[in-house]
Amino acid sequence: MKKLVKPLLAVLLFTAASASMAQQAPKPEQVIKWRQSVYQVLAWNNGRIKNNVEGTYNKDEVIRAANAIAALANSGLGALYPAGTETGKGWRETTVKPELFTETAKAGEAAKKFITESNELAKVAATGDAAAVKVQFGKLGQTCKGCHDDFRKKD
């Protein structure tokens, strides 16, 4: 299992980074701005799903939001954490903890859980089963919270 998982995580986390950075390394502040933006976009879509599972359920809106979350989860977000971005300011000072850059196996596991649960949510959303979406949305939320607890400073 380890043999399989480790290279997979490496691909998920670092391929995109090395591929694009060989050509043109963006400035650390730009990279931090991009990653801060990703979390805002995730939060927007997360909030939309929350509104739907707690209120009137609109299948299409949930599908759109879940697909956006999944596509971002699958987009190779590890590329947004290159060396040199442990501290610094994007839109604002980064809230990343230094542990994200040192506890790479643990961070990789957290990323993997987020990807898995996001993809599952997109699948469940497509069925339009509001109750099942609520359950899966809770599971996704746990992966967000876990990663924030371990790797994100409190505001």
* Of 72, 96, 107, 147, the one binding a copy of itself by CB under 8 A: 72
Asked whether the beta carbons of 107 and 151 are under 8 A apart, the reply is yes
Run of H or E residues at 104: helix 104-127
Please report the sign of the dihedral spanned by the C-alpha atoms of residue 142, residue 148, residue 154, residue 155.
Answer: negative
How large is the C-alpha radius of gyration of the chain? Answer: 16
Please report the sign of the dihedral spanned by the C-alpha atoms of residue 68, residue 1, residue 152, residue 98.
Answer: negative
Pure H helices in 55-90: 59-73
By CB under 8 A, tell whether 119 contacts a copy of itself.
Answer: no
Measured from the CB of residue 66, what is the shortest distance to a copy of itself in angstroms? 9
Name which of residues 127 to 146 contact a copy of itself (CB under 8 A): none
Measured from the CB of residue 27, what is the shortest distance to a copy of itself in angstroms? 12
148 marked ligand binding residue: yes
By CB under 8 A, tell whether 58 contacts a copy of itself.
Answer: yes
Which residue ranges make up the site for a copy of itself (CB under 8 A)? 11, 15-16, 19-20, 22-24, 26, 33-34, 36-38, 40-41, 43-45, 47-48, 51-52, 54-56, 58, 60-61, 64-65, 67-68, 70-72, 74-76, 79-80, 91
